[in-house]
Amino acid sequence: MRIGILGATGAVGQQMIECLIEQNIPVTELRLLASTRSVGKKYLFKNEVVVVQEATENSFENLDIVLGAVESDMSKIFAPFIKKAGAVYIDNSSAFRLDETVPLVVPEINGEDAITHQGIIANPNCSTIITLMAIYGINKLSKITHMIASTYQAVSGAGVNGIYELEDQVKDILNNKKIKSEVFSHQIAYNCIPKISEILNNDFTAEEMKMQNEGRKILHNPDLKVTCTCVRVPVIRSHSISLSFRTEKELTKEEISNAIKNSPGVRLIELPNLPMPLNTSDTDIVEVGRIRRDEVIGGYALWCCGDQVRKGAASNAVQIIKCLNFEK
Same domain, 200 and 101: no
In a domain, 31, yes or no: yes
CATH number at residue 61: 3.40.50.720
**Residues 152, 231 within the same domain:** yes
- Say if residue 68 is in the same domain as residue 178: no
98 in the same domain as 141: no
Give the residue-averaged pLDDT of 89-111. 97
User: Is pLDDT at 327 greater than 60 in this prediction?
Assistant: no
Query: 75 and 134: one domain?
Result: no
pLDDT value, residue 212:
96
Same-domain status, 133 and 279: yes
Q: Answer yes or no: do 51 and 136 share one domain.
A: no
304 and 278 in contact (C-beta within 8 Å)?
no
User: What do you get for the CA distance between the two ends of the chain, in Å?
Assistant: 5
Output the pLDDT for position 301: 98
- Whether residue 231 lies inside any domain: the answer is yes
Q: Please give the Cα distance from 133 to 108 (Å, whole number).
A: 8
Share of the chain above pLDDT 90, in %: 97
Query: What is the rounded distance in angstroms from the CA atom of residue 313 to the CA atom of residue 19?
Result: 11
For the segment 54-69, what is each residue's pLDDT rounded down to a tens digit? 999 999 999 999 999 9
Average pLDDT of the residues of the chain: 96
Residue positions annotated with a catalytic role: 126, 239
Q: Is 241 a member of any domain? A: yes
Q: Do 241 and 276 belong together in one domain?
A: yes
Quote the CA–CA distance of 156 and 162 in Å, as a whole number. 6
CATH label of the domain that carries residue 280:
3.30.360.10
Cα separation, 317 vs 105, whole angstroms = 9
Give the side-chain half-sphere CA count within 13 A for 211: 26
Tell me which residue of 305, 319, 324 sits closest to 126, measured CA to CA.
Answer: 305
Percent with pLDDT over 70 in the chain = 99
Q: What does pTM read for this prediction?
A: 0.94
> Helix, strand or coil for residue 290?
strand
DSSP 145-201: EEEEEEEEE-GGGG-HHHHHHHHHHHHHHHTTPPP--SSSSS--TT--B---S-B-T
Q: Are residues 142 and 263 in the same domain?
A: yes
Query: Is there a domain that residue 103 lies in?
Result: yes
Domain check: are 60 and 173 in the same one?
no
Query: Rounded mean pLDDT of 243-268?
Result: 97
Q: Are residues 132 and 61 part of one domain?
A: no
Domain assignment present for 328 = no
Model confidence pLDDT, tens digit, residues 121-153: 999 999 999 999 999 999 999 999 999 999 999
Question: How many folded domains does the chain comprise?
Answer: 2
Please determine, for residue 328, whether its predicted confidence score (pLDDT) is greater than 50: no
Question: Could you give the residue ranges of the DSSP H alpha helices within the chain?
Answer: 11-22, 72-84, 107-110, 126-141, 160-174, 206-218, 253-261, 277-280, 315-323
Residue 249, in any domain of the structure: yes
CA trace torsion 243, 93, 96, 83 (10° rounding): -150
Is the pLDDT confidence value at 209 over 90? Answer: yes
Cβ burial, residue 314 (10 Å; 0-12/13-18/19+):
buried
Contact 127, 233 (CB under 8 A): no
Give the pLDDT confidence of 280-301 residue by residue, as tens digits: 999 999 999 999 999 999 999 9
**Domain region containing 101:** 2-124+314-323
Residue 14: closest CA among 328, 317, 323, 285: 317
Indicate whether 166 pLDDT > 50: yes
Q: What is the pLDDT of residue 71?
A: 94
Q: Is residue 13 part of a domain?
A: yes
Residue 326 pLDDT: 61
Instruction: Tell me how far apart the alpha carbons of residues 81 and 83 are, in angstroms, rounded to a whole number.
Output: 5
Domain match, 67 and 158 both: no
Is 173 within a domain?
Answer: yes
